Structure formats: structure tokens, C-alpha cells
Structure 1
Amino acid sequence: MGALDQTIIIDRPIEEVFAITTTMEQSPQIMDQVEEVNKLTEGPIAKGTKYNEVRNLGGRRVQSVLEVIEYEPHASYAVASSQNGVEIEFRYTFEQQGEGTFVTFDGKVKTSGFARSLFRGMIVRMIAKEELFHLQKLKTFIEKETV
């Protein structure tokens, strides 16, 4: 497992966990750094759906466009973004485990350009720190919201 990989069991059925996890507009309620998320494309969530996300990173508002690159209901969901020579991909997989759902979250970071490549390790550590408690926050949110 890499720096961004996490797993957790959420005590809710896979349908609920998948639905809440893939509703990006709820991210500000789950993730401390996310201030707003707006859907940019029409229609239901599918591969190609795009969102505008604004995060507060150390007092600086950073905007990026997230694109759904994988969407398999109740099985997997992935989004990607690219900004200033840094490409990030987050992927969730879901497996029913008893009455709960086993969730795996993993992330990949790619850099391009000499300057970004020099700072790749620092960028990965910064993102890993930001995402460290991501699944725990998701678990708390889902279990609280669906009781």
C-alpha cells in the first residue's frame, strides 16, 4: 500500500455507502479542506462527469476540476484532476462484508516538469497528510447520517 492508501469497514449496506461516497457535493461536510463542490456537467454521475472543487490549503483557496474516470455502481469510483504539473487520481472500491461495506481508498500522484518532479515527495506527503483521516471521516459521516 502507498502513502495514500486506506481501508475501513463502514457499518452500512454497500448501496448507501456508494451513494453517499459518490455524491461529491457533500464533500465539504466530510472533508475539512473542501469548501465547495459544484457539478459542471448535466445528467447522472457517470464516467466523464466533471466537478469544480475549491479547497482551503493553508489559508489559500485552490480550485480544480475533478473528472470521474471510473464509475461502476456499488463496486468502484475514481476521480482525477490535473493542475500545474500535478496529476492526482483517487479511487474507491467497495465490497459487501456482512452487513457492512469494506471500502478501499487509494491515490496516485504524478508530477511533470523539472520543478514539480523535484518536489514530488513533498507533494505526496502533503496530500497524504490531508487525506490521512479521510475514510474515518467518511465512516463517521455515513454512520451518523443514515441512523
Structure 2
Amino acid sequence: MLDVTQSVTIARDPAAVYALITDVESTPKWSSAIVRIVRDTDGPLAVGDTFTEEATLMGRIIRTAKVITELNEGAVYAEEAQGGVLPHAVRITLTAQGEATKLTFRLSGNPGRAAKIYGPLLGRALKKQIAKDLQSIRRLLED
């Protein structure tokens, strides 16, 4: 089982942070692992919407079909991989802290064969990538 949780405090209100993380097509701006996002629908993001994510994982390009599983304006964004190499779920929660926002990013999943092959390397790589992504989000919103 894979379970990685990282947090960052951002000097912006939850609405501003939520606007960035729910603009899924802009994810490559803050996640260097994400090459491209292609939504299957137009218009405002809604639970049940699907998209394809192209990402690099340990030097390989991985294409993953994803579905939005939870949206709570200014508070929660969640998505789930639909199969693929690394079945996982992402849940981002936003908590107001005065004039700032605490963003908590949780990635959980069951990598199956990948865990047997890559084991601890995968967990360490994901922790490092998520920490880097959160700092990118902070910089984008605070600058």
C-alpha cells in the first residue's frame, strides 16, 4: 500500500488556491512530472468528469485515465486513476489559517506489481515530487 501525505501553507485565501488546483489543464505549470492533461469534457469541472494525464514516472511517460471524485468549493478536490500502471487516488484539502491556506495533498493507492519491483524507491520518488509540486503551487500563488 502506498500512502503519501504532504502539506504546505500558502499566503493566499482558499478560493485562490482552489481555483488553481481545480484548473486541471494548468497542472503542468506546478507539477514538473505532468506533461499534459486532456479533459474529455468542456465547461466547469464537475464530479464524474474524466481526463487523461500524461506524466513522467521514474523516467517513463505514463498515460492515466482519471475521474474527478469530489469537489467542495474552496475546500476539497479529489481524483482517482482508472486503472493504469499505478492505481491511486489524490485528495487535496484546503484549510483556512487566518489569511493563509494550509494545502494537504494525499496520494494513496495499491501499486501491486510496481511495489514489488520498485518498492521504497517509488515512495521516496513520490514524496520528493509532491513536496516539489507543493512549493511550486506556493510560489505561483504568492508571487
Give your verdict on TM over 0.5. Answer: yes
Q: Whole-Å Cα distance in 1 between the matches of residues 58 and 106 of structure 2?
A: 23
> Alpha-carbon deviations, 1:76-102, whole Å to 9, x = none?
111111313x31111111111111111
CA contact (8 A) 1:88 1:107 kept: yes
Higher normalized contact order (CA 8 Å, seq sep 6+, divided by chain length)? 2
- Structure 1 partner of 2:8: 8
Cα 1:58/1:117, change in 2 over 3 Å: closer
- Structure 1 partner of 2:55: 55
CA contact (8 A) 2:94 2:104 kept: yes
Shift in Å, 1:142: 1.4
Shift in Å, 1:59: 4.4
Does 2:101 align with 1:92?
Answer: no
- Structure 2 partner of 1:118: 116
Q: Whole-Å Cα distance in 1 between the matches of residues 10 and 140 of structure 2?
A: 10
Query: Which AA in structure 1 matches 2:35?
Result: E
Q: Whole-Å Cα distance in 1 between the matches of residues 77 and 39 of structure 2?
A: 16
- Structure 2 partner of 1:141: 140
Shift in Å, 1:117: 4.7
SS in 2 for 1:104: strand
Per mean C-alpha deviation after superposition, the further-off stretch among 50-59 and 134-143 is 50-59
Q: Whole-Å Cα distance in 1 between the matches of residues 49 and 107 of structure 2?
A: 19
Q: Whole-Å Cα distance in 1 between the matches of residues 31 and 38 of structure 2?
A: 15
- Where does structure 2 lack aligned partners over 5 or more consecutive residues? none
- Where does structure 1 lack aligned partners over 5 or more consecutive residues? none
Shift in Å, 1:20: 0.8
TM-score norm. by structure 2 comes to 0.85
SS in 2 for 1:108: strand
> Alpha-carbon deviations, 1:109-131, whole Å to 9, x = none?
2134xx33523444333322322
Structure 1 vs Structure 2: percent identity of aligned residues? Answer: 24
**How large is the Cα RMSD of the aligned pairs?**
2.0
- Structure 1 partner of 2:84: 83
TM-score norm. by structure 1 comes to 0.83
SS in 2 for 1:53: strand
Shift in Å, 1:74: 0.9
